Amino acid sequence: MAILLSTKAAIMAEWRDAMLAVDPSLDIRLFPDAGEPAEIEVAVCWSSHDMAELRRYPNLKLLVSMGAGVDHLLRAPGPPPGVPVARLKDDRLTTAMGEWVLLNVLRFHRQDAEYRAQQAQRLWRELPAPDTAQRRVGILGLGQLGTHAAGLLRVVGFPVLGWTRQPRQIEGVTCFAGAEGLRAMLGQTDILVCLLPLTPQTRGIINRETLALLPPGSFVINSGRGGHMVADDLLAALDSGHIAGAALDVFEPEPLPAEHRFWGHEKVLVWPHASSITIPRSAAPQVVENIHRLRQGRALINLVDFSAGY
């Protein structure tokens, strides 16, 4: 059994070494040096890999995403038919995402942009004190990332609301579900955080209508996927002042084109898809665990539910 690794050239060797540190007997091939296609049984890929290329490997039995998201692997033509897909469920990814969400919620809540603007003018002036208990944070998506971020925000003292497509209950989080629930939550959300998986159902969820439901002066934080937001609608809401600021880590396309208005917009914080970066040595044990399970014919872990799209 051989394993094909495919990601950015700069971290390919780091992934290989991290996996070999867990199991030195693995036969790992770095794309495009796959060797004999029939020997490849597992592909561990990031978003740059062309799914059509994977059809070259007649004995492929498992595809693993090098991230928490799998939308890049599921988009047409998708993985070769019958090949299960596993994703990462990694504590380091979850912790880092929680930090990033907290960082930006606190930036908006504590008027950081206003104080920086005052600093630029050497202006010594207090702004009205914000009240944490009155700043409602609404999270789209209560999977591992959303639930963890909700917990951090609660510890700081924010009222936390959460939305999922199917009803969920999470202690301390006011939960909403479905289309009606989305409208209800948005009407009570001062800072909207998107941590959803990108599926046909969630594409474009941050759009003119949903943004209009947020109270005037609210903020948007997106570290789901660029496809969750209609960029022009968000820009219009920022320009009109209805949305007071946005922290964005994900875009469509990526990298964000140099001429895009987000780059220079005074109310937008742009991050280069770096809110939560996969660390190979943290992720490798679960990938190798799945390879061992495959070899031994045992149930695989962290499998994607194709019907749900994540």
The footprint of ligand OXD (CB under 6 A) covers 67-69, 93, 276, 278
Contact 85, 60 (CB under 8 A): no
Encoded tokens for 89: 């469920």
Q: Name the catalytic one among 16, 87, 109, 225.
A: 225
Q: Examine the residue annotation and report whether 265 is marked as an active-site residue of this protein.
A: no
Q: Where are the beta strands (DSSP E) in 1-125?
A: 2-6, 27-30, 40-45, 62-65, 85-86
Give 93 or 244: the residue with its C-beta nearer to ligand OXD.
Answer: 93
Contact 247, 104 (CB under 8 A): yes
Q: How far is the CB of 227 from ligand OXD (least distance, A)?
A: 12
The residue written with tokens 């960029």 in the block is: 231
Q: How far is the CB of 54 from ligand OXD (least distance, A)?
A: 18
Q: Is 161 helix (H, G, I), strand (E, B) or coil?
A: strand
Q: Examine the residue annotation and report whether 242 is marked as an active-site residue of this protein.
A: no
Q: Name the catalytic one among 29, 49, 109, 273.
A: 273
Q: How far is the CB of 69 from ligand OXD (least distance, A)?
A: 3
Give 96 or 288: the residue with its C-beta nearer to ligand OXD.
Answer: 96
Q: Is 160 helix (H, G, I), strand (E, B) or coil?
A: strand
Give 34 or 68: the residue with its C-beta nearer to ligand OXD.
Answer: 68
The set of residues, in sequence order, having a beta carbon less than 8 Å from that of 179 and lying 6+ positions away, is none
Give 183 or 203: the residue with its C-beta nearer to ligand OXD.
Answer: 203
Q: How far is the CB of 204 from ligand OXD (least distance, A)?
A: 18
Q: Is the dihedral of CA 275, 285, 67, 170 positive or negative?
A: negative
Comparing every residue's Cβ against ligand OXD, the nearest one is: 67
Any idea which residues carry the catalytic annotation?
225, 273
